[in-house]
Structure 1
């Protein structure tokens, strides 16, 4: 692994025996404090995650979903804390609509993130559950200065969300977002967090908070019932494993979309991507084409695991991926539909401790603040339900109690059945694309986590268009254009290219220390001791 950064990044990697990396410095510090108070990596991740709901409300909240991959020192565990559709969400409920709404009550599935906090703490934590909320409650009650990045996101959300139930009352000051540097306090949210902490989450799903959310929904156009909340359940799942060279990339199985990154890696292996130099137009061309193919398959086949018509084993079959790779023209951009396998706004964080425990964790309200609906007490609901499909017979068709296709995906890399790196890239459909680029930088180019993060990125946007960062070398951009790619160049450090956090073991000879990195595209901080 190359310790020195080759991309001239402003941030140096952090080397320590205990480490936390997140998209917000105050949250990272909450995680470090948990470690210094006798907690382990999971306690640190939870303290960080809970604090993020307060200090980065433009990306996540109490009303979102979460996923995690945890190395306990011997084994990798997967956790799916994504919520399910309300009982009334039958196809008939959405009759007359061609697509799901983008904001509002009809995008809100039952929030799963709180149940994820509970499960992680019970299964792996050392500290008392309530102690994990200390910093979050303090910042909500006494305030914190809003950063320029978050202030901008806050301001941009107003025209879209200001008329949604509870949004303006909860997140605006006389109709305006807080300015950069302004102190933001939200005592009502502090009370909600205190209630969750003191009841170990019971209030959120079967008690006082659940009743408050249901009452608010029933009075403002929502359809939640107490039964919807009581039925919520976090699942422990077996991570999907896929080999890339000497390493294995682990992702949460569907309804998560991490399989798209694994499919793209398999297509690239079959296409012999390593025949082309790192950072060349030819190599990036193949990456883009492989990702387009993987997205086509993911959007066609991935859904709640209980309703998938194609098994994940078929999507990851080496023969199938080779057949997809054979369709790629190495010198010309193409357009791809889904294959037939039968024939063959989010926050991410990670933590690690000196016992060898590592956790890769992600939680999200999906698009920025989410649905725009905010229940009393600062419970901002996500809009994950917008990812359902209304096409009759589609695997991801909306149905009661069903989980939608999910973009938020933590990742974990192992080598020889031993942990190597916890990492993730927040940012909608950038996430599997970010995983692909991060893994190839780390495995093929031997870059450290900070350098992997600093490297210029490309992205296939929601419309299928290719965008690249302005920091991408001009020779590469011109080479891609010559192969038929229509390219939009985005400003350097654009939020569209996601935000990575990563912690890796320092080396095969040094297994008792870590090297951590945090993305310069956000306010992030990697710290350790």
Structure 2
């Protein structure tokens, strides 16, 4: 049977899948998708398109990502799959003792304390240098133009921008936060939907990154500005931390799910949570998506995978258990045996020894990119380096201050990371990139769209449009209003604490591009829960 039925639209109230042959870019902002497509039409490849889209997203969707964030990528090119981990470590002076000495019992969400070394600019430079065809200066030009000349705020972007501004007004009172309000508000308010917004400082920073291949950010003028601001306001990050940083090329990890290989970036990313859940679920037979049994088993497998992920995942070299152990068939059988008729309270097992943007891009030569980039929890730390548009991430918020925890804070260590790009292959050949952004929803979204595709044969758009659920904690599960009422009621009878969400914004925002192996035709789906757009050629 084919991977999906191109004419099957069970969720036809949403948009239709897109098809094209020469190239495709899918992401959450139309202007960014078009920027990527422009690179293909200029003679660039899918890697150039992905970089242009990612840089553009720091301008046209600042509520989810920025220059001061992290990035991960999976790239298919010349018959091989490559992984890039561009997440940054804790500064060399950031210790548990130092944080507790400031009066914190857990890592704060805002301010300079949770700021880790940003990796996004290094990802653009590394991808461009290794696989790109166009100069980085050309690839970043659309982003520079939007920052310099402005763009109209789109509907979903305007909604989240307003929400963030209201939260920040309540919580960000120190002098160190002035740069955020100067950059991202107008007369103290968020820009309205349809209103033009520009960021000249952001444009100058992007020019500096383009002209120096990101060297300025890590070992030049921009690094000096970050260092100066951090010293002035009692932060930990220093120019030495930036200078020591390099992104890491990694080998993606996978599990085989019903003859397809599902690929993720290895830890410190949480992609392994999705793989553990799929490894557990492949032992069951699924024939119908909208059934009580499907929902119940998916939720139970996800809970077990998260219990293990939150206990064991941190920087790979510092994990006490190996990835192969957690993804072993024996461990999957053990975890699967725990799934019964009633909801369980998840606990980590003992393996046997032995706020984000997502984009997908493809070109006619077979290159395909799965790319994800984030500041974390919306705008990140609330810290913007004055005059630069650099909004710093708050990834350090996920570190534990418990010295005995696997993901404990250590200088120079990378924390458990939520952003994950996905990729699908079969028999060593690419099917394509996929991803669902949104904090801890991401592995849950990966499992749901992969099962929608492989088990239920939905085309990319229908796979994304289908009703979603999200495990929160314990036995609590949120479901979208589109989940059939009889299923929600039956899940409650199985012991799940079901909450029907009023807003679908928390259920992730995904993109998919699949390639037909015989014709090379690309079929794409984009998220109906945001301002998503596919630019196709």
Q: By the TM > 0.5 criterion, same fold?
A: yes
Residues 1:519 and 2:527 aligned together:
yes
- Say whether the 8 Å CA contact 2:475–2:497 is kept in structure 1: no
Q: Quote the residue 2:165 is aligned against.
A: 158
What is the SS of the residue equivalent to 1:249? Answer: strand
Task: Give the structure 1 partner of residue 363 of structure 2.
Answer: 353
Residue 421 (structure 1) shift? 1.9
Q: Does 1:479 align with 2:479?
A: no
1:413 matched residue in structure 2: 424
Contact 2:346–2:474 at 8 Å: present in 1 too?
no
Distance 1:234 1:463 in 2: 36
Instruction: Select 1:49's aligned residue among 33, 47, 54.
Output: 54
Match of 1:58? 63
Q: Distance in 2 between matches of 1:134 and 1:147?
A: 21
In structure 1, runs of 5+ residues without a counterpart are none
Q: 1:462 to 1:157 in 2, by over 3 A?
A: farther
More moved, 9-18 vs 198-207: 9-18
2: distance between equivalents of 1:58 and 1:182? 16
Q: How much does 1:174 deviate? A: 1.1
Taking structure 1 as the reference length, what is the TM-score of the superposition? Answer: 0.97
1:464 Cα deviation from its structure 2 partner: 6.1
Give the drift of 1:369: 0.4
Point out the more displaced range, 68-77 or 473-482.
473-482
The residue number in structure 1 matching 2:381 is: 371
> What is the TM-score normalised by the length of structure 2?
0.95
Question: Distance between the aligned counterparts of 2:333 and 2:474, measured in 1?
Answer: 26
Say which SS state the counterpart of residue 15 (structure 1) adopts. strand
SS across alignment from 1:169: helix
Q: Write out aligned runs for 1:249-288 (5 A).
A: 249-270=262-283, 272-274=284-286, 277-288=288-299
Could you tell me how far apart the structure 2 residues matched to 1:69 and 1:48 are? 15
For 1:427, the equivalent position in structure 2 comes to 438
Equivalent pair of 2:325/2:353 in contact (CA under 8 Å): no
CA distance in 2, matches of 1:181, 1:464: 41
- Please list, as runs of the form range in 1=range in 2, the aligned pairs for 1:67-82 lying within 5 A after superposition: 67-82=72-87
CA distance in 1, matches of 2:39, 2:193: 28
Kept in 2, the 8 Å contact 1:71–1:358? The answer is yes
> Is 1:161–1:167's contact at 8 Å kept on the other side of the alignment?
no
Answering whether residue 415 of structure 2 is matched by residue 404 of structure 1, we say: yes
Matched, 1:7 2:15: no
Distance 1:203 1:439 in 2: 40
> Post-superposition shift, 1:110?
0.6
Specify which of 458, 468, 481 is matched with residue 447 of structure 1: 458
Is contact 2:270-2:313 (8 Å) kept? yes
Counterpart of 1:107 in 2: which secondary structure? Answer: coil
Q: Which blocks of at least 5 consecutive residues in structure 2 are unaligned?
A: none
Work out the CA distance in 1 between the residues paired with 2:356 and 2:246: 21
Structure 1 segment 99-138 matched on structure 2, within 5 A: 99-138=106-145
Counterpart contact for 2:345–2:475, Cα < 8 Å: no
**Alignment-derived partner of residue 216 in structure 2:** 203
Residue 414 of structure 1 aligns to a residue whose secondary structure is strand
Distance 2:45 2:449 in 1: 26
Deviation at 1:165, TM superposition (A): 4.5
Measure how far apart 1:218 and its partner are: 1.1
Deviation per residue, 1:406-458 (Å, 9 max, x gap): 00000000000100120000000000000000110111111111110010000
- Corresponding residue number in structure 1 for 2:518: 509
Mapped partners of 2:20, 2:436: distance in 1: 22
What CA distance in whole angstroms lies between the structure 2 residues aligned with 1:426 and 1:125? 25
Q: What per-residue deviation string (whole Å, max 9, x for no partner) do you get for residues 90-149 of structure 1?
A: 221123633211111111101001001000000100001100111111111111000121
CA RMSD between the two structures: 1.3
In structure 2, C-alpha distance between the alignment counterparts of 1:194 and 1:277, rounded to whole Å: 51
**1:93 match:** 98
Stretch deviating more after TM superposition (389-398 or 158-167): 158-167
Q: Which residue of 1 aligns with 2:203?
A: 190
Contact 1:273 1:286 (C-alpha < 8 Å) held by counterparts:
no
The CA distance in 2 between the partners of 1:188 and 1:283, in whole Å, is: 50
Q: Mean Cα displacement is larger for which, 459-468 or 168-177?
A: 459-468
Contact 2:424–2:433 (CA<8 Å) still a contact in 1? yes
CA distance in 2, matches of 1:504, 1:413: 9
Q: Distance between the aligned counterparts of 2:130 and 2:467, measured in 1?
A: 38
Tell me by how many angstroms 1:462 deviates: 5.9
Counterpart in the other structure of 1:496: 506
Contact 1:310/1:342, CA 8 A, preserved across alignment: no
Aligned residues: 523
